Amino acid sequence: MQFSVRLPVATHILLCIEKFHGECKTTSTFLAGSVNVHPVIIRKTLGQLRAAGLVEVAAGVGGAKLTKSPNDITLLDVFRAVEEDEDLFHFQENPNPKCPVGRNIHQVLGTRLEKIKQHMEDELARITLEELLNAVNENEGG
């Protein structure tokens, strides 16, 4: 199973916005250079982050800024902002009802997978943008 790159890309964008705040304008072109993706992907992601109330984006070359303190933004906030399908696990819709496994798989596995998703969300909610920014700074020796 592979998750999308939306969460890491959006987190990268938010970290850059905060890290370079006051030093330079964090435009989509600037952010695209750091993330190493096309600016269109950055603009789409910024739109999602703006819709979630995490960033403000100035038109033209104004750049972006956070609307909240990095300590008040969690990875769960970012995940919910950019993941279009938060349903992590998908069932085959029509298992064979004549089979004892097929007729019970949704009920038996569904509750367990929901617990796994809840644990993941709980962990995402614990990690703040500030914690990640501190880790970036520590890795850079400053």
Residue 33 phi, psi dihedral angles, 5° rounding? -65, -35
Name the residue ranges covered by the structural domains of the chain: 6-85+128-139
Nearest of 52, 66, 85 to residue 18 by alpha carbon = 66
Rounded-to-integer distance, Cα 104 and Cα 127, Å: 36
Q: What is the mean pLDDT of each run of 10 residues along the chain (142 residues)?
A: 82 97 91 95 96 90 90 97 79 90 92 92 97 95 70
The CATH fold of domain 6-85+128-139 = Arc Repressor Mutant, subunit A (1.10.10)
Rounded-to-integer distance, Cα 8 and Cα 128, Å: 14
50 contact partners, CB below 8 Å, separation of at least 6: 56, 57
Q: In 10 A of CB 75, how many CB atoms?
A: 23
- Asked if 97 and 103 count as a contact pair (C-beta separation under 8 A), the reply is yes
DSSP code string of 68-122: S-GGG-BHHHHHHHH-S--------S---TTSTTTTTHHHHHHHHHHHHHHHHHH
39 class by beta-carbon count within 10 Å (0-12 exposed, 13-18 middle, 19+ buried):
middle
Q: What predicted TM-score, i.e. pTM, was given to this entire model?
A: 0.87
**pLDDT value at residue 86:** 64
**pLDDT value at residue 1:** 47
